[in-house]
Structure formats: structure tokens, C-alpha cells
Structure 1
Amino acid sequence: MKKIFKLFSFAFFIAIFYLGFTTYPKLDLISGFSAKSVASGHFIDKRSQELIEKGDNDIDMIDLATNTINENGKFATASVYGLKGRKAIYREGLGATLIDDDFDVTKPYLVPKRTKLNNDLPFPYGNKEQKDTVFENVDYAKLNSAVTNAFDVEGKKDKRTRSLLVIYKDKIIAEKYDTGFGKDSKILGWSITKSITSAMFGILEKQGKYDIYKPAPIKEWANDERKNITTNDLLHMNSGLEWEENYSTICDATKMLFQAVDMSRSQLEKPAAFKPNTHWNYSSGTTNLLSGILRQQFKTHQEYLDFWYSALIDRIGMNSMVIETDMAGNYVGSSYGWATTRDWSKFGLLYLHKGNWNGEQILDESWVKYSAKPTDTSDGQYGAQFWLNAGGRFPDVPREMYFCSGFQGQMVAIFPSLDLVIVRMGLKEDPEFDFNGMLSGIIGSLKK
């Protein structure tokens, strides 16, 4: 009996040691993700803690965190078995920010100036409901079947679509939401936000204020091999800089999003692993570096904060959108954009219409073409902060389709020749969720 007890004790000790060795270093990231998710979901979208924990935080290991919301202080905290507590604060206009112990919560801060779209036009060019429109070439039974099939049946959790919106010739022809969500629900786009960041450079270029083909304006690179990296290389994830993006473990991306004070520097400080334009490597750090470069283009922090909204977001009526900032005041252009499904679709429509918004040219048509042109080394997968189907990722979907894509299967898909935009927001991504089937099913409802 003593021998068995000793063996059991030894096995228990080994198990505890293994869990401590493998899991403890992750606790800071787990509690950080959880606190940030709870603060953002609750204060931006008014979700209950229960809905956030059952939905957004229903991820392996993230569900170990215990969360608390402080309504009066407008913050959320999280820890794992009382260890590695983290805090995320909410500030109106800036969203939620995950902070460290050195962050001064009493320090005054700037917020972007917003302009709300105010006209009598129906969606998408105004906020009024559109008149019902029936297209003779749309098989509505087939369309509704494809849309319904994208959602879980009661009791299941294998598709986890939260919203699906189909816009054909500027008209909503299908719109469906999961329980607890609706047309006014703000949903995190994750890396869809990268495409917003790209658009900001397109606007600066249209204004004649920036040349993406010149070396990136980063003084730390001036005297080493990184000096030849251009903004064009960065936009195409083709800089050759070292970076690891693997959300299942501790990596450059997770350390940046859940530990960095200034996310714009996470990629900046990495060495070159390859020569520019020779090796494609997806990097959220690159996009946040681009956000930092954008900030350099303005004399004041206020101008930088205002620019994203005045030049693009509010200009096309994406009034629900909030792009959250890091502790240093940079927009987290890689990951932290929130908007309603309808407002996400407006961004897709801007690109569908070659940069034109109801008669006003926001982006040059050449920039839209540039965004959807394959990166040299991506095998047709990627453009300038947009994903592409040029390489046939979705075999039953037109190769011309390009799309904004985010963690857990967020998608704004643009079909130029079909005059079609499809937005899907959810919690499952390819291949767990059948995007090829969903997209081809919807397209198949449009009769030729």
C-alpha cells in the first residue's frame, strides 16, 4: 500500500510540475485575453458577462479565467485561480485597453472627434431602413436556405455564426442574426481591422502626402539591413522581418496583444530574417507598425486619432465603429476594430465600388486594384492587407473574390463582377466552418 501511495504521490507531483511548467507562463496571457474581452464586449456592445463567457471566452484555457466587471469604474479584471490578475479599462471613444501596473489611470487622455452621418438616405448611404426590393434573378428560397445553413441548429455549437449579411446591388437581400445579436450589435472584427489600416494609407496617398514605395520612415532601421524595407513591403506582409504568429501558444503576436505597452514597436524591434519581397509572412505586428507610421504623419496625437474617423470611418457612415488603442495611444490596427455587421459591410461596399462612396471618391480606383493584387510570394493568398481567392483557397468561389478576414472566422467578402458583398461574423473559422459552401451557396442563388 505504501508503495502504491508513493507512486501516486510521485505521479501527482509530476502532473503538478508539468502543469506548472507548461501552463503558468501562459496565465498572464489567459487572464489578459479574458479581461480585455470582457471589458470590450460589455462596455462597447453592452453584452452580459454570461454571454461573453459562454461566447467570446469559450476558448480552451481562456475559460479557466475568473472575471469581474466594475460598472462604476468601467473596468474588468480577470485571473486564473487567483494568479496573474489583469485589468482592462474602458474609455469612451477609445474602447477597452488592457493595462499593466505602471499605467496611470488618472492621466488625462485624448479621444477622437466623431461626426455622425445625418441624412434621409436609406442604407447603405444613410441609416434609414431601405425599401423592400425584389430581384427577379435571385432565387430567394435557395438564398435563404444557404443563409440558414450557416447557423447552428438549437443545441449545437459547430458553426457558431453570429451574423450573416448579403448585399446585392447595394440592397440587403438576406440578413440573419444568432440569438443575443441583432443589427445594432457591435462585433469585433479582429484582423478585418488590418484592411482598415491599409485604407488609411490609400487615403494619404490620394492626398499626395505619402509614398508607399519609399523606405519606411523608421530611424531605428537607417543604419542596418532593414533600411531598404518599404511601406509597400509592410502592406504586403513581405518585409522579411522575423515574426511568429501562433495564437495557440506564447508567441510574438500574443505577447504584443496582451503584454506590450506600445504595440507599434513589437515588429519594429525584430531583426530581418529575409531580404524584402522574398518571403511572405503574416504578421499582426507589421500592421501595428503601420499604425505607428501613420501616427508619425501628423503633428499631434489628436490629428492622428481624428484622421481615421474623419477621412474614412465616419465619412462612409460607419458610425458604430470603435478602433481601440494600446497603452501608448496607438490604434491597434491589427485586431481591435468593432462595428455592427451593417457597418462592416459599408467598408466592403466602398471597395466594391472602386473607392467611390455615393459619388465621392474616398480612395483612388488604382488603390483598390493595388489592394487586391497578389503579393509576389504569397501564392495568390494575399494582397495589401486583404486576403485573396486568386490562389483558389475556396474552389467553388470566383477567383476574383477578395476579402477582409479575422480570427474565428470574421469575413467581409467582395465580388466585383457580381456586385455582391457578403459579411459573416462568428466564432468558427475555416476549415471548421465551411466558408466555401456558404459563399458558393449564396452565389448559386443568383441566376445568370
Structure 2
Amino acid sequence: MKLLKRILLLLLIVIGVVVYLNYPKLNIISGYAAKNVASGVYVAGRSEASMNLNDNNVPLVKLATTEVNEASKSASSTVYGLMERTAVYRDGLGSVLINDEYDPSKLTIRPQRNFSMDTIPYPYGQAAPLDSIFDEVDMDQINRALAVAFANPETQKTRTFLVLYKGHLIAEKYVDGFTKDTPILGWSMTKSALATCYGILEHQGKLEMDWPAPIAEWKDDGRKNITLNHLLRMQSGLEWDEDYGGMSDVTKMLFLDSDMTQRPKEKKAVAKPAEIWNYSSGTSNLLSGILRQQFRSHQEYLDFPYSALIDKIGMYSMVLEADIAGNYVGSSYSWASTRDWARFGQLYLDRGIWNGEQIFDSEWVDYITTPTQHSNGEYGAHFWLNAEGKYPDVPKDLFSCNGYQGQYVFVIPSKDLVVVRTGLAEEPEFDPNRVLRAVVDAIKG
């Protein structure tokens, strides 16, 4: 009996230690679940059941129970009844995890949108795409590429796939529950859209990439030497932990912070600018805060990405989500349909020209595709690269926007291709090299 009591006591101690060590993680788990469902339901028009069954069916997050409140346009999650978190939807600004600092009366403005319809065929306009046939495109091979992209649905988990060739839609496919109009969470593809805002401001003569980052807290130490270029290239030298498996810089920022620009601003330097490369979502949100500083009012900041880029090229399905403080979460939270993500890729394939208007300098494309030192040729300026052959069977001039769970916008200039893939699995379950090779093989010559 004494032995049994000791065993039970030891078991209780072990359970207590496990709960103590993991309890803070519940904040992240329930926060992720609530935010994901609220955005999926109110931004993308998905069902609560579909979001819970599919999008939240990832390790740890699937432990959460999430329910939607239609009256308040919110979603609340708990993990076995513990650590309740709630995310609320705000028209034009997407969903946000709330905390004790949240005051809905403080953020009443929203971005002003301009949805102007036209008769120009997709992707350059809102009319139906042209039924285009090219002698140099093997459509049977394109269909085989689609089959490869959607093979093994339980592991690859591809949801949507689209191919543009020379500015013409030549293939697209969607799984049940998704259409050409369904907004998809881009995750870190948002970083590339944020960077493009800097390219536009540079084109307008309003800033230069070698300018020091305008952060007052850095003016008296070595961080004063960090430039916009260093930030765009993820080589600021600032400390940052991009670990999504526990309580880290990135998870605290995304699921706890009211102002997501503050945490990265407070990080100390662990190296001089350009000495190291360290992928950091904090850097992207810092850049979002710096972008806000370029405008006289909050309204101008909210409007700029839409008026200068998103609505300018007809990405009307796109929504940039903001934090409690009203900063766009440039690291992670933007939604757009597969067709609209492809428009973004086409803009880059066309080197910044859209229907005759130069949105950003042609040289900006050269800038964002120049490999960043210490990145093994895989990163430029908020875009991913194939410069060193990460995808060995694909042209090395490929560059892309990449997001968690395998969201991709691939641009291959030498083949006049834009390829978009969205889903719920990335490498190794989804093999971009194999799928892209199948697409590239369809282009003769």
C-alpha cells in the first residue's frame, strides 16, 4: 500500500510538472485556433466546421475546441476548458486576438477600397480570362502537372493550383470547398506584399533602401547602422527566435502582443548588420511599423497598400489583417484568392508594369532577386530564390513568395510562368521541385 501511494504521489508530481511547464503554451494553442477560425469564417467565408476539421487539424492546435459567435463576429477557443482566447472580426481589418488592452472604440477607421470593374480579361482585369492556346505549350503535360500537384491528397494536401503563361490563364484546379474566389491565407507570402510597398515608395522617390531605419530607440547604439536594406534582407543582426514549437519571439508576437512592431524593436543586436542572415517575422512587422511612419495619418497608412498596389492591380479579394494597435501584420496575415495571388506574381513577371503603368521600378525586381549574403542563395529581399538550385530541376531565375503549410507564388521569368499553389502541407510532404518540373516540361523550347 505504501508503494502504491508513493507511485501515485510521484505520478501526481510528474503531472503537475508537465502542466506547469506546458500551461503557457495553451495561450498560444487556443490563440492560434481562435484567430484561424475567426479569419477563416469572416474573411474567407469558410464554415466553422471546415476550419476546425481541416485548418486547425495540426499538432497541438487540434487539442483546442473552437466555437463561433455570429452575434459578435468572433471565435473563442479553449484547450480542455483552459486558457480561453477570443478573436474578433473587424470590417476591413480582418480578425484579431483580443486581450485586456483591446478597446473596440479606439480603432474605428478602416482602409478605403476602390473596386472598379472593367472589361479587361483576367489577369489584368476583372473580365473572364481568354481561352488561350499556345503551340509551344503541351497541354497534356500541363494536365499531368496538375495530377502531380493533387496526387496523394492525404499527404500533399494541395487545395488550389494555377498556372499563368505569358499573362494568360492556361490551367487551374480547386478541391471541393474552394473556388477561384475563395480567399486563402498567405501566411509569410504577406512579407513579399509588404516589401512591395517599399518598392513603390522608392519608385515614388519617397525613400531609399540604404536609409537608416527610423527607430528612435536605436539612435544611441550600434543598431543605428541598420538600414531598410538590412531589414528587407533579414540581415539586421538583431536577436530573434523564429520557433513555432513553443513560447518563442515569434509566437509571443503573433499570439500575445497588442502591438506587433514593439517586440522586434526592443531586440538587442547579436551581430553587426550584414554579418549574419536570420529569418525573422519580427523584422517584417518592424518594417510594417516603419511603413506607418511614412504617412501623416493612420488612415493614409491603412489606405496605401490598397491604393498603390492591391486595388491598383485588381486584387479585390485581398485583405490585410491588422493587430490591436492598427498595424498591418506584414509578417503573416493576408488573405487573397488564388487568382489574385497570381496577379501579384504576374506584376513581378512584368517587372512592375500593370496595364501600361509602372507600379514600381523594373530594377526593383533585380533588387529583390539579388541573393542575400549568408542565405545560401535562397533569399533576396523578402522573396525566396532558386539562385543556388534549391529546386534542381527548375530554372535558377525562379523567385517566389513562400508561406507556412506550402503557400507559394512562383515566378519563372525565363519560362514566362507564374505558378500558384496553396494547401496545408509543405516540404517534404509536398515537393515543389517535382511539381514545378512537370509544369516547366510543358513549355517547349
Query: When the two structures are superposed, what TM-score results if normalisation uses the length of structure 2?
Result: 0.98
Answering whether residue 159 of structure 2 is matched by residue 184 of structure 1, we say no
Q: Report what 2:439 is aligned to.
A: 442
Amino acid in the other structure paired with 2:389: G
| Contact 2:406-2:427 at 8 Å conserved across structures | yes
1:272 to 266, 269, 285: 269
Measured after TM superposition, the shift of residue 21 of structure 1 is 3.2
Following superposition, the deviation at residue 5 of structure 1 comes to: 3.4
Q: Is 1:105 paired with 2:116?
A: no
Task: Quote the residue 1:290 is aligned against.
Answer: 287
1:404 aligns to 2:431 (yes or no): no
Q: Is the counterpart of residue 363 in structure 1 residue 354 in structure 2? A: no
Note if contact 1:117-1:319 (Cα within 8 Å) is conserved in structure 2: no
* Number of matched pairs: 445
Q: How far apart, CA to CA, are the structure 2 residues paired with 1:108 and 1:193?
A: 22
Measured at CA, do residues 108 and 428 of structure 1 come closer, stay the same or move farther in structure 2, by a change above 3 Å? Answer: closer
Deviations 1:89-147 (A, max 9, x none): 10110000111022112445110000013111110111111121111222212211111
User: Who is 1:17 aligned against?
Assistant: 16
| C-alpha distance in 2 between matches for 1:431 and 1:53 | 24
Tell me the percent identity. 53
Counterpart Cα distance in 1 of 2:211 and 2:291: 14
Which residue type is aligned with residue 142 of structure 1?
Answer: Q
1:47-93 deviations in Å (ceiling 9; x for gaps): 11111012110111101111111111111111111211111110110
Q: Give the whole-Å Cα distance in 1 for the aligned partners of 2:23 and 2:52.
A: 21
Are 1:117 and 1:126, in contact at CA under 8 Å, matched by a contact in 2?
no
Q: 1:196 aligns with which of 189, 193, 197?
A: 193
Q: Secondary structure in 2 aligned to 1:55?
A: helix
Alignment-derived partner of residue 44 in structure 1: 43
Per-residue deviation, residues 313-371 of structure 1 (Å, max 9, x unmatched): 00000010000000000000110010000000111001000111121100100111101
CA contact (8 A) 1:115 1:310 kept: yes
**2:346 equivalent in structure 1:** 349
State the alpha-carbon separation in 1 of the partners of residues 145 and 124 from structure 2: 27
For residues 131 and 70 of structure 2, the distance between their equivalents in structure 1, rounded to whole angstroms, comes to 41
Partner of 1:229: 226
Range that drifts further, 100-109 or 421-430: 100-109
- The one-letter amino acid paired with 2:150 is F
Q: Which residue of 2 aligns with 1:338?
A: 335
Q: Distance in 1 between matches of 2:427 and 2:415?
A: 23
Quote the offset at 1:8 in angstroms. Answer: 4.9
What amino acid is aligned across from residue 265 of structure 1 in structure 2? Q
* Structure 2 runs not aligned, ≥5 long: none
Stretches (4+) displaced over 6 A:
none
Report matched runs for 1:301-340 at 5 Å: 301-340=298-337
Q: Secondary structure at the match of 1:45?
A: coil
Q: Is the aligned partner of 1:121 residue 2:120? A: yes
Cα shift readout 1:239-297 (whole Å, capped 9, x = no counterpart): 00000101112110110000011101121100000000110000000000000000001
Distance in 2 between residues matched to 1:6 and 1:447, nearest whole Å:
75
Provide the rounded CA distance (Å) in 2 between the counterparts of 1:19 and 1:164. 42
Query: Normalized against structure 1, the TM-score is what?
Result: 0.97
Deviation of 1:4 after TM superposition, in Å, equals: 6.3
CA distance in 2, matches of 1:46, 1:200: 27
Q: Does 1:54 align with 2:53?
A: yes
CA distance in 1 between partners of 2:10 and 2:395 (Å): 56
What is the aligned partner in structure 1 of residue 161 from structure 2?
A: 164
Alpha-carbon distance in structure 2 between the residues aligned to 1:421 and 1:8 = 62
Q: How does 1:378-417 map to 2 (within 5 A)?
A: 378-417=375-414
Aligned to 1:75: 74
The CA RMSD over aligned residues, in Å, is 1.3
Unaligned runs of 5+ in 1: none
